[in-house]
Structure 1
Amino acid sequence: MDYRKPSFSFFSFFTIILCSNIPQISAVEYPINVWPKPTTFFWPNPQAILLAGNFTISAPEHRYLTPAVDRYLRQVLMEHHLPLVNPPLNLKSAPPLTALVITVADVNSPLTHGVNESYSLAVPSSGENAILTAQTEWGAMRGLETFSQLVYSSPSSVACGLYISDVPLFMHRGIMLDTSRNYYGVKDLLRLVKAMSMNKLNVFHWHITDSHSFPVVLPSEPELARKGAYGESMKYTAADVRNVVEFGMEYGVRVVPEIDMPAHTGSWAEAYPEIVTCANMFWWPAESDWPNRLAAEPGTGQLNPLHPKTYQVVKNVVHDVATMFPDELYHAGADEVVPNCWKVDPSIQNFLSKNGTLSQILEIFVNTTLPYITSLNRTVVFWEDVLLDAEIKVSPSLLPPENVILQTWNNGPNNTKKIVDSGYRVIVSSSDFYYLDCGHGDFVGNNSKYNQPPGTPQGDGDSWCGPFKTWQTIYNYDITYGLNEAESKLVLGGEVALWSEQADSTVMDPRIWPRASAMAEALWSGNRDETGKSRYAEATDRLNEWRYRRVTRGIYAEPIQPLWCVKNPGMCNTVH
């Protein structure tokens, strides 16, 4: 497939969409950009018609769909997007398009995992109304986004005959953002949610707390943020959380909270030092080997599962977070429990001296907290470590698959296979493919690794998960690789992850975009053509155009090529 777009004499005075008749053929090539690519696109005779000055969008009244309709109507009338490469469209002599009519079969579908996001869009060539049909309001929002991307130029006009039938391959398509290591303002989070909706991503996984800070203010445990946040201006109040959650609903994006525990909880020690082991200790004692460290990275601290007060605090935290975040998923972390951090505590030393094990201590914690979380009508997501860690893990008998989802981050497809073979649903966030922080070097100071003679090769630059994950690497990853059909059904989807040791709001957009867009298309409509060949090559021109359009919408995505390549389609390919 070749998506190179020959230039033509563009209608600079019109905003145009695309149009045609509606035969049953697949438009393998189409001269405009829709991202992610729809699963079915019928449009053999690309043409355009004017968009009427009094163009309207009508839809059933709904708390979230109605503002979405208003938002998209303003956008299609006012965006006046001029593409980098003019699509070869002929302006059809036909009455202008005056309306897009939306019909929704079920306007009461809650925004939950598995909600129907399918839609169909038809723009007739006769000047009749365009029709967008969807099973739910959330599918209608996806169709509105597609419609908005079909609009080009200035001041206003539209297309004819186009037909799209669209449905995502995977139900869970998300971004994980860590706001503990470095702080992101609420406006940054809202901008992220808006950008996710543009890409038809539907889950914002908010990794709120970690050892470094506890920025969310909880009604039952206000001391955790008062003492654990970086500062008064770097907290998320209950009103802030409501703002993010409500904004997400308006854009069809669920917000899933993560309160990581029992590891990654050093920030809790500022308020409750008695329940945290090895808090504020140097993470890697001098002259010790890597296995003898106290944390996976600076800083230290793990909840003590043997201390009764631990569960008083944890239950208050879980209750408040579940109240603030209505989503059915609750991410409870459980990754990277480091043995020595527990071993320095006297009560744990005593437990171990009586033939107890560290895995039994983790089991005590999970067996006490998991039933409480599920009693709040939540399905719990754990990082894969709780089942697959080599040293400290939980018996599968304590992790009922009907109540537990595992998120994989290590060892690529191999761990995905292990998880589904154990009967668990899985969310894929492989660090080999989906970690957006990789490739930026190490962040620890006074590192003797750098005390080398000039010219010494640095390999991956000491980034633990280097190299940098390019958009092509992300796009080409098949998250069900090596799985049979039954196993593949347990793969809910995937998330790219931005851990924030070396990121904050100043670099958020370019660190995430357009690489997250690559995952968005792969999880929405796949990354291969009808012959099974990867389509990243033909996606390049479309992603260039999409990145440019995103920038005009206020999302500062990094470029993937020199502008010259975009202006000269095909000239930067390795094969002409």
Structure 2
Amino acid sequence: MLTLSKFHVILIPILFFITLLSPLFSIALPINIWPKPRFLSWPQHKAIALSPNFTILAPEHQYLSASVTRYHNLIRSENYSPLISYPVKLMKRYTLRNLVVTVTDFSLPLHHGVDESYKLSIPIGSFSAHLLAHSAWGAMRGLETFSQMIWGTSPDLCLPVGIYIQDSPLFGHRGVLLDTSRNYYGVDDIMRTIKAMSANKLNVFHWHITDSQSFPLVLPSEPSLAAKGSLGPDMVYTPEDVSKIVQYGFEHGVRVLPEIDTPGHTGSWGEAYPEIVTCANMFWWPAGKSWEERLASEPGTGQLNPLSPKTYEVVKNVIQDIVNQFPESFFHGGGDEVIPGCWKTDPAINSFLSSGGTLSQLLEKYINSTLPYIVSQNRTVVYWEDVLLDAQIKADPSVLPKEHTILQTWNNGPENTKRIVAAGYRVIVSSSEFYYLDCGHGGFLGNDSIYDQKESGGGSWCAPFKTWQSIYNYDIADGLLNEEERKLVLGGEVALWSEQADSTVLDSRLWPRASALAESLWSGNRDERGVKRCGEAVDRLNLWRYRMVKRGIGAEPIQPLWCLKNPGMCNTVHGALQDQ
């Protein structure tokens, strides 16, 4: 047990916020919480020990109870040791015996817009800390914050006392997209990602399950899609796997949003149903053809044929199975990168075009035949921005009802966000210029002359690499939007497309860059003066990365360890002076 006097100093983890003492050096106050709470008060900078019999007292709840057990075990086993020593007064009169969790409305479901706010207090002189939340999901956010305030080696654990936190997110949709079609990830990989998301208070796992490269999802109504379209019999997700992932998501306060990308990106469907897929298994960019004449935007061709009645029979079976397996109220229908050349390989489509029809009318026919069916299943449809903004194939807004449609943007940064909300649609922001985590690793094509061009960015179409700083500093509802338009921005997602990623690099590609998104969308990226606080965040993110690694998440380093042990010495005076 601890044997320190009340005047003794103890080692504690650095820092909740940074106080700038000079342009070259900053000193840290205790407590490192990521993402930074909206409001925190700790006036006396005192700490107490955690009782050896500490417990979390919470009402029974299907999902919160699992979370309570998880955090109780984490607090006891994490043994987070500080890398730097800072003085704080340890009060010896008593220990903290319990955390009392109160939830005002357990009926609130896990869906977009649910109240995730919480209040957390650890009064001086009390044996109990108190966590108050409106929903079970808000209580989970508060439990995470509480866990990050504890340091030491069990049973000698300490935490701040006389602290009060009031917290809630700026944006309701804070997500990570993972593509499991181009390379396969195991169920454990997905669950580890959800675990790390919950620790970062991210709440939407956008599961891009299928694409032209593979169809790994085993569906009861259409088993041949995975049997013939997966990358192999051991690279599929069974209904039992899906149930396990969805359950795990609920226990961590993370929604699992499925995406079945159609009508483009469906070459894998052609393995089971070649009659409903145009240009399947054709070379994606024929020799001698211009880029405009390509059949796909990358290797892996195939698009569903909107003129085939069989298309809708299969698609509706898929939709029904997805609805049955995923309780999430959003259904992502894809809709991106429908390429003219692919549809034009089909004789029936060419006849339709010769009779005065257009490619955009084909897309509208597909949407008119599928969107109402998805809506009839009590789902809101999410599409990529292409269905409204593509230069060649796009639908008239009349077939995209605003009350049932959300658009996800990936091109042209703030400009396309502005175009979408100006048209009255809700938007999820995933701008490739800021939020694509696969960018900057070069291309994956062989025999590509682009590597001869110095200005090519090394063959990566979306180069450069998206640093945590660029992710953190991106304002998804910036000055281009008026007040009403900002209300239509639901939030954002970082995206990991998997042409050059699999389980061997999953953690390091996601973390801590996705952590930067987490804080930016939870409590913002500016300080009280309205100045970008990226420079202040670096020390906290560095420490949070260190703690994530302790928790089994292989997050990549953002600085040399020397910087952690010498706070402020890796800063530069110039940026700080320019911001003031």
Q: CA deviation at 1:109?
A: 1.2
CA change 1:530–1:158 in 2 (3 A) is closer
User: 2:353: which partner in 1?
Assistant: 352
Correspondences of 1:77-88 after superposition (within 5 Å): 77-88=76-87
Rounded to whole Å, the distance in 2 between the matches of 1:565 and 1:60 is 43
What residue number does 1:473 align with? Answer: 470
| Stretch moving more, 192-201 or 440-449 | 440-449
Opposite residue 146 of structure 2, the aligned amino acid is F
Query: Are the equivalent residues in 2 in contact too, given 1:202–1:254 (CA < 8 A)?
Result: yes
Cα deviations across residues 367-417 of structure 1 (Å, max 9, x unaligned)? 000000000000000000000000000000110110000000000000000
CA contact (8 A) 1:68 1:141 kept: yes
- More divergent stretch after superposition (43-52 vs 333-342): 43-52
- TM-score of the pair, normalised by structure 2: 0.94
Cα distance in structure 2, aligned partners of 1:74 and 1:15: 20
Alignment of 1:505 onto 2:506? no
* Aligned positions of 1:136-155 closer than 5 A: 136-155=135-154
Moved more, 77-86 or 114-123: 77-86
Q: Is the 8 A contact 1:437 1:500 kept in 2?
A: yes
CA distance in 1, matches of 2:487, 2:460: 33
Kept after mapping to 2: 8 A contact 1:11/1:153: no
Shift in Å, 1:354: 0.3
Who is 2:134 aligned against? Answer: 135
Preserved contact between residue 16 and residue 49 of structure 1 (Cα < 8 Å): no
**Is the Cα contact below 8 Å between 2:37 and 2:167 reproduced in 1?**
yes
2:66 aligned counterpart, secondary structure: helix
> 2-side partners of 1:190 and 1:516: how far apart?
16
Which portions of structure 1, spanning 4 or more consecutive aligned residues, are displaced by more than 3 angstroms?
8-12, 14-18, 456-459
Deviation at 1:561, TM superposition (A): 0.4
Q: Distance in 1 between matches of 2:87 and 2:109?
A: 41
Change (3 A) 1:96 1:460: same
- Equivalent residue for 1:417? 418
Query: Which of 553, 560, 574 is matched with 1:562 structurally?
Result: 560
3-state DSSP of counterpart to 1:500 = coil
Deviation at 1:11, TM superposition (A): 3.5
- For the residues of structure 1 that align with 2:456 and 2:222, how far apart are their CA atoms? 45
1:205 aligns with 2:203: no
1:213-362 superposed matches below 5 A: 213-362=214-363
CA distance in 2, matches of 1:173, 1:440: 25
RMSD over aligned Cα atoms: 1.7
Does structure 1 conserve the Cα–Cα contact (< 8 Å) formed by 2:106 and 2:136?
yes
Deviation string for 1:487-521 (max 9, x for gaps)? Answer: 10000000000000000011000000000000000
Moved more, 173-182 or 90-99: 90-99
Kindly indicate whether the alpha-carbon contact (under 8 Å) linking 1:334 and 1:382 is maintained by their aligned counterparts in 2: yes
Query: Aligned to 1:335, what secondary structure does the other structure show?
Result: coil
Name the aligned partner's letter for residue 478 of structure 1.
D
In 2, Cα distance between the equivalents of 1:74 and 1:235? 32
For 1:174, the aligned partner's letter is G
Is 1:17–1:152's contact at 8 Å kept on the other side of the alignment? no
Output the amino acid matched with 1:460: G
Kept in 1, the 8 Å contact 2:13–2:31? The answer is: no
Alpha-carbon distance, 1:200 to partner: 0.3
Distance 1:437 1:89 in 2: 43
Distance (Å, rounded) in 2 between the aligned partners of 1:513 and 1:87: 27
CA contact (8 A) 1:17 1:48 kept: no
Q: Counterpart of 1:234 in 2: which secondary structure?
A: coil
Is the contact made by 2:14 and 2:28 (CA closer than 8 Å) also made in structure 1? no
Number of the residue aligned with 1:158? 159
In 2: Cα distance, 1:16 partner to 1:341 partner: 56
Q: Cα deviation per residue 1:72-99 (whole Å; 9 max; x = unaligned)?
A: 1111122110122334322123300111
Matched-pair contact (CA < 8 Å) for 1:32–1:87: no
Matches within 5 A, 1:5-20: 11=10
Alpha-carbon distance, 1:436 to partner? 0.3
**In the aligned structure 2, how far is the partner of 1:160 from the partner of 1:511?**
36
Report matched runs for 1:46-125 at 5 Å.
46-125=45-124
Contact 1:266/1:279, CA 8 A, preserved across alignment: yes
Give the letter for the 1:367 counterpart.
Answer: N
Moved more, 149-158 or 362-371: 149-158
Structure 1 residues 215 and 87: CA distance shift in structure 2, 3 A? farther
Which residue identity lines up with residue 537 of structure 2 in the other structure?
A
For residues 544 and 459 of structure 1, what CA distance do their matches in structure 2 show? Answer: 32
Identical-pair percentage: 65
Task: State the Cα deviation string for residues 164-183 of structure 1 (Å, max 9, x = none).
Answer: 00000000000000000000
- Match of 1:299, SS? coil
Structure-1 separation of matches of 2:513 and 2:354: 49
Q: 1:15 Cα shift?
A: 10
Q: Which amino acid aligns with 2:95?
A: P
The within-5 A match list for 1:522-541 is 522-541=520-539
Q: Separation in 2 of the partners of 1:551 and 1:29?
A: 22
Q: Indicate how the Cα distance of structure 1 residues 459 and 562 shifts in structure 2: closer, same or farther if over 3 A, else same.
A: farther
**CA contact 1:510–1:558 (8 Å) conserved in 2:** yes
Segments of structure 2 that go 5 or more residues without pairing to the other structure are 1-6, 17-26, 575-580
Distance 2:68 2:85 in 1: 27
Answer yes or no: is the 8 Å Cα contact 2:15–2:31 preserved in 1: no
The match for 1:22 is none
1:457 paired residue number? 454
Q: Does 1:445 align with 2:446?
A: yes
Matched, 1:494 2:492: yes
**Aligned mates of 1:167, 1:191 — CA distance in 2:** 24
**Counterpart position of 1:3:** none
Q: Secondary structure at the match of 1:479?
A: coil
**Alignment partners' CA distance in 1, 2:183 and 2:225:** 17
Do the aligned partners of 1:262 and 1:303 also contact (CA within 8 Å) in 2?
yes
Against the structure 1 CA distance between its residues 277 and 398, is the aligned structure 2 distance closer, same or farther, given a 3 Å change threshold?
Answer: same
Is 1:15–1:51's contact at 8 Å kept on the other side of the alignment?
Answer: no
SS in 2 for 1:49: strand
Contact 2:15 2:30 in 1 (8 A): no
Where 2:134 maps in the other structure, the secondary structure is strand
Q: Please, which moves more after superposition, 63-72 or 163-172?
A: 63-72
Task: Work out the number of aligned pairs and report it.
Answer: 555
Q: Match of 2:395?
A: 394
* 8 Å Cα contact 2:14/2:32 also seen in 1: no
**Distance (Å, rounded) in 2 between the aligned partners of 1:521 and 1:84:** 23
Give, in whole Å, the separation in 2 of the partners of 1:550 and 1:10.
26
Q: Measure how far apart 1:10 and its partner are.
A: 6.3
Alpha-carbon distance in 2 for matches of 1:429, 1:40: 28
Q: Match of 1:96, SS?
A: strand
* Alignment correspondent of 2:185: 184
Cα deviation for residue 458 of structure 1 reads 5.3
C-alpha distance in 2, partners of 1:344/1:422? Answer: 33
1:363 aligns to what?
364
